[in-house]
Amino acid sequence: MFYSRALSNRSYLLEVTSLQERELILERKNGVHLEPQPAHCSSPDQDMSYISGADLFGYVGIEAVLDQMRHKTMKAGFEFNIMVVGQSGLGKSTLVNTLFKSRVSRKSCSSLHQERIPKTVRIHAVSHMIEEKGVKMKLTVVDTPGFGDHINNNNCWEPIVSYVNEQYEKYLREELNVMRKRRIPDTRVHCCVYFLPPTGHRLRAIDLEFMKHLGSIVSIVVMWLMLTRLLMIQIRQDLAANGIQVYPQKQYDEDPEESILNNSIRECIPFAVVGTDREHQVNGNKVLGRKTKWGIIEVENAAHCEFSHLRDLLIRSHLQDLKDVTHNILYETYRVRRLNQANVDFSELGLPPSGSPLYSSVCSTLCSGTQDTCEGESQL
Ligand SMILES: Nc1nc2c(ncn2[C@@H]2O[C@H](COP(=O)(O)OP(=O)(O)OP(=O)(O)O)[C@@H](O)[C@H]2O)c(=O)[nH]1
Ligand SMILES: [Mg+2]
């Protein structure tokens, strides 16, 4: 769906025959007024004109690039890395299994007819290749042990911060290699799902500290296992009062259409979900659900919980955006900071040592970005 969203947006724009028509349609779609754009846009050193379909002598075939992109993506597959963080026993491993409809988090071990997921005791990354309708995704689930379980939780976010930064460092080192790989293996955390405990209280100091420390280095999606929306507004107020922005951040919205979609997602924060891999019979159909004394809570039923909204955000509508934000914003910030630090060991990477005549020219090339990698990534 995330792919078809990108495709449908693009093909919709390509179909439109004139700039005026495009503006009118966008205005109608978004309910906003767009400033009319000049037919010929120019900058001091570059002339640019807009040639619409009606002005072309015939069919060029530009739209076929979409099929090419699709074909390339299907052949190469893509990587997606998700991390789960929260107190012990909150259902982190179960939720990841529910999201991907498989045992991707930790393999269950059977004991006395009951399937149990073993307790997560260390930061542990497990990868799986998942294929659906010919599209291959290498999914890595980074499971973390109970967060804030101890009596003294001072700096308990540090191992998680270190893990996230280590993945950026690995990627940076690969990128700086003279003989670098055509496709750099990507272990960077694209999304961190943070589980709030179902205590019925506002955010705890430890939740705020975690999000303050992690919010600037990874996209955080907040959820809880409570089926009440009563505290939702207060929790959003707590986040705003502490200057914490969780994904999807307002400042990254690219256009009015995206803002409308993201505003509806922001209304759901924190997502109230249930997770399970058990199926139950409901009206003659098998559905994923949790049996409670009040009845069966159906995982996929939007009237019962917000699992489907969370799943849509993480997989069907924003997976590529999560990857783009990680690469273009979060990793970029890390990269620039690291390259400005004196302690990057350039000689270890086979590059000219700092201070040598070649150093500054190499450094400015590296700092200006690796355009081919960015483009390759954003097409997945
Ligand atoms: N009520 C309820 N229980 C859940 C839910 N999700 C998981 N559980 C149960 O909670 C228990 C712990 O689930 P896990 O998925 O192992 O939790 P975890 O957070 O990964 O636990 P640790 O690895 O020990 O930190 C299991 O018995 C699950 O069946 C949920 O949405 N609601
Ligand atoms: Mg676990």
Q: What's the CATH code of the domain at 239?
A: 3.40.50.300
Do residue 6 and residue 46 come from a single domain? yes
Domain assignment present for 34? yes
pTM: 0.77
Pocket test residue of 106, 117, 124 for ligand 1, highest count of atoms within 8 A of CB: 117
Ligand 1 and 117: CB distance under 6 A: yes
Domain assignment present for 364? no
Over residues 46-60, mean pLDDT: 85
Show the tokens assigned to 222: 């907040």
pLDDT at residue number 135: 92
Task: Using alpha carbons, select from 359, 323, 324, 329 the residue that is nearest to residue 344.
Answer: 359
pLDDT at residue number 62: 92
For residue 131, name the pLDDT band (cuts at 50, 70, 90).
very high
- Please say if the pLDDT value at position 342 is more than 70: no
Domain assignment present for 173? yes
Q: What are the pLDDT digits (tens) for 55-67?
A: 888 889 999 999 9
Q: Which domain holds residue 26?
A: 2-69
Over residues 6-33, mean pLDDT: 40
How far does the centroid of ligand 1 lie from the alpha carbon of residue 284, in Å?
27
Do residue 62 and residue 157 come from a single domain? no
Count of structural domains within the chain: 2
Non-local (6+) Cβ contacts of 82 within 8 A are: 96, 139, 140, 141, 142, 189, 190, 191, 192, 193, 314
Cα 109 from Cα 115, distance rounded (Å): 6
pLDDT at residue number 53: 81
Do residue 43 and residue 150 come from a single domain? no
Pocket test residue of 84, 88, 90, 300 for ligand 1, highest count of atoms within 8 A of CB: 90
- Please say if the pLDDT value at position 5 is more than 80: no
pLDDT at residue number 1: 38
pLDDT at residue number 180: 84
How far does the centroid of ligand 1 lie from the alpha carbon of residue 91, in Å?
3
Residues of the chain with pLDDT > 90: what percent?
A: 40
Instruction: Return the ligand number nearest the Cα of 297.
Output: 1
- Please say if the pLDDT value at position 121 is more than 50: yes
Which range among 200-204, 241-245, 317-321, 323-327 shows the weakest confidence by mean pLDDT? 200-204
